[in-house]
Structure 1
Amino acid sequence: MKTTKANSTEIARLAGVSRSTVSRVINNYSNVPPRTREKVLEIIRQHNYVPNVSAQILAGKRIRTIGLFLISQGSVSSDALTNMLIVSVIENASEYGYYVLTHIIRDTQDTEAIKGVMDIFYQHRIDGGIFIGAASHEPFIEDLVKAGFTVGIVDQELPERPESNRIVSTFNNDAGMKMAVAYLSGLGHTAIGTINGNMNRLSGRTKYEGFLAAMRMCGLQVNPDWVLEGDFQENSGYEAIQSLVGRGVAPPTALIAANDSVAFGAIRALKEHGLRVPEDLSVIGFDDHAMSAKHHPALTTIRVEFADMLRRLTTCVISAIEDETAVAREIASDCSLIVRDSCRRI
């Protein structure tokens, strides 16, 4: 079909609407009255006007591209786990003939940045999106779900009324924390602390809840002085230990970190204060980071099968894109204890 030389201004004149209305129709915004939308589309069809970016959209075709959005204030390029997650999505999407558009969101309170992400969906530059690092409730993601876009979210739970275009993945953090506490208890530890993750994220909250439940199951008391604030970045583990030592609090005999990066930071700070791991203090991580086996000491941790989880999540997102009647899905990933050198019997 050959296009004409008509531009959006000419289409707007012929349809008796503003140029911005034509743009909203082309980009499929919802705030256009149905009769106005149909009038503009009829003029577009009559004049074979197809903007390049929207050609496949107006033809009713998918563009076979999904978005991968990382919500992180910290370094992404230097984090091996994050890079593995990115590669997992790209590899699995490629198997289905899909491309992956990637973007880092540094601040979800930045209205301009979030508008840019929303526009990518509304302009149909992608068929759906996957979000990593989102808070338990992220308003702009909820808006995308309500608008009918296919969205996959790592580390979230389904709401009471799950939508068919929402796919979530969760980790069995409760079981993982029970493994960690039970292992340390079996080694004779009773003074066990934890460095929490970001409590605005599901994993931060559920790991701490799992820690409390596991301590109760083992008949152990939780000392508030040994419950340390953190997020999921290495520096938060370092700062947590600096704060503990700075307050003059006697340390526990063992610590469970929210993830391996946090554990790395904690071990670095402990070494600076002359405390040896595991001789003076045992440390367990969570995730089984790519560098955990190579760390000194090699880190005992709770392994999460991230690659398998991302493979299943990507597959479900693409399935939902290609079949709008697909039911809502919740993907759960199991955990396992990996024993290395960072814990000792007392």
Structure 2
Amino acid sequence: MVTIYDIAKKTGFSVTTVSKAINNYSDVSEKTKKAILQAVEDMNYLPNSSARTLSTKKSWTIGVIFVESLGIGIKHPFFNEVIESFKQAVEVFEYDLLFASRNLHGSNKSYLEHFRYRGVDGVVVVCSDIHNEQVRELMANSLPSVVIDLSSTTSSVVYSDNITGSKLAVEHLYSLGHRRIAHIAGHESTFAGQERQKGFIRAMEELSLPVLDEYIVNGQFFSEQGGYDAMKRLLSLEEPATGIFVAGDNMAIGAIEAIREAGFDVPKDFSIIGFDDINIAKLIHPKLTTIKQQTDLIGKRSAELLLEQINTKEKLTKQIKVPVKLVERDSCRKI
């Protein structure tokens, strides 16, 4: 069996340096770390987990929480893509992920108590619910954490630039000649829903376009059904909008279905633009114009931020806003 001493002999570095590199200590240069990790891979070195836990005082486990209101859990496209990127970034340093059960085995333990009991080194939370008390308790605690899709001053957070993305959407519709522009919004209890509606209103005001109450419709929790129901309401107006900015791609798909059922066409009769750029957006007909969230970058930045806290043993309250971009496809047209 290959030992840490074999790695040290092969690379010419001390056992201490090799150990620090393997455990991602900050006082080892990237060049040295790269050489050592390459040797680890070449020699198929597998550290004993119990020994490593004792020597480093780490469990090498990161807790994962996902809080959403649709009840679809890991199948949610945003969560799936972000956590996959996060996993790829932390597994390089041999961390395992521990997903919190939604009911925590029927106990009354909070997320914080659960992860304290399991001895995780840190926690990543995907949560849009600004009112979730258990998440807020965890964010305020000294346990290293990073929260995705939420803004906070008590914890490190990573989120997309929702306001700029919404402005890009409205400006795109405006550039195509649309002046009656409506918004299917995410639920007001969600951070993304609030920010995207705020961006919509700001863009409309900057373009000197009227913000009509009946043109802002609640699409609930970003589901296809929510988008479908909201579009039905917009279609019932005496003077419907010609362009609709939808706060999520799933809702946009539901909105397109409602338009078709009413005997209209996208983009001939209505232009639709979504937000997220989930995989199916480029596969539906018409292919959906949308605002792309960089889920790979969100996951990577979240991992870096959490590992920094774990390694320095210091709770950080950094905020990282990840840029978004417009992806033009076929669901909008010039009028």
Residue 248 (structure 1) shift: 4.8
From 207, 213, 233, give the equivalent of 2:223: 233
Kept after mapping to 2: 8 A contact 1:134/1:153: no
What root-mean-square deviation, in Å, do the aligned CA atoms of Structure 1 and Structure 2 show? 2.5
Residue 240 (structure 1) shift: 1.0
The match for 1:14 is none
- 1:51-130 map, 5 Å: 61-74=57-70, 75-76=72-73, 78-103=75-100, 105=102, 115=109, 117-130=111-124
Residue 303 (structure 1) shift: 1.1
For the residue of structure 2 that corresponds to 1:206, the secondary structure is helix
Give, as a single letter, the amino acid of the residue that structure 1 aligns with 2:197: Y
The match for 2:127 is 133
Give, as a single letter, the amino acid of the residue that structure 1 aligns with 2:280: M
From 303, 309, 314, give the equivalent of 2:298: 309
Residue 209 (structure 1) shift: 0.8
For residues 93 and 58 of structure 1, the distance between their equivalents in structure 2, rounded to whole angstroms, comes to: 20
For the residue of structure 2 that corresponds to 1:302, the secondary structure is strand
The match for 1:145 is 139
Give, as a single letter, the amino acid of the residue that structure 2 aligns with 1:320: Q
For the residue of structure 2 that corresponds to 1:63, the secondary structure is coil
The match for 1:294 is 283
- Alignment TM-score, normalising by the size of structure 2: 0.78
For the residue of structure 2 that corresponds to 1:115, the secondary structure is coil
In the superposition, relative to structure 1, how do residues 83 and 343 fare at CA in structure 2: closer, same or farther (>3 Å)? same
**Where do 5+ consecutive residues of structure 1 fail to align?**
1-53
Residue 59 (structure 1) shift: 8.1
For residues 113 and 262 of structure 1, the distance between their equivalents in structure 2, rounded to whole angstroms, comes to: 35
For residues 106 and 51 of structure 2, the distance between their equivalents in structure 1, rounded to whole angstroms, comes to: 26
The match for 1:217 is 206
For residues 183 and 301 of structure 1, the distance between their equivalents in structure 2, rounded to whole angstroms, comes to: 10
For residues 150 and 336 of structure 1, the distance between their equivalents in structure 2, rounded to whole angstroms, comes to: 31
**Where do 5+ consecutive residues of structure 2 fail to align?**
1-49
For residues 169 and 280 of structure 1, the distance between their equivalents in structure 2, rounded to whole angstroms, comes to: 37
The match for 2:178 is 189
Larger radius of gyration: 1
The match for 1:243 is 233
In the superposition, relative to structure 1, how do residues 111 and 251 fare at CA in structure 2: closer, same or farther (>3 Å)? farther
Kept after mapping to 2: 8 A contact 1:121/1:149: no
Deviations 1:58-112 (A, max 9, x none): 9872111111111123224544333212211221121121001123648xxx996
Q: Does 1:158 align with 2:152?
A: yes
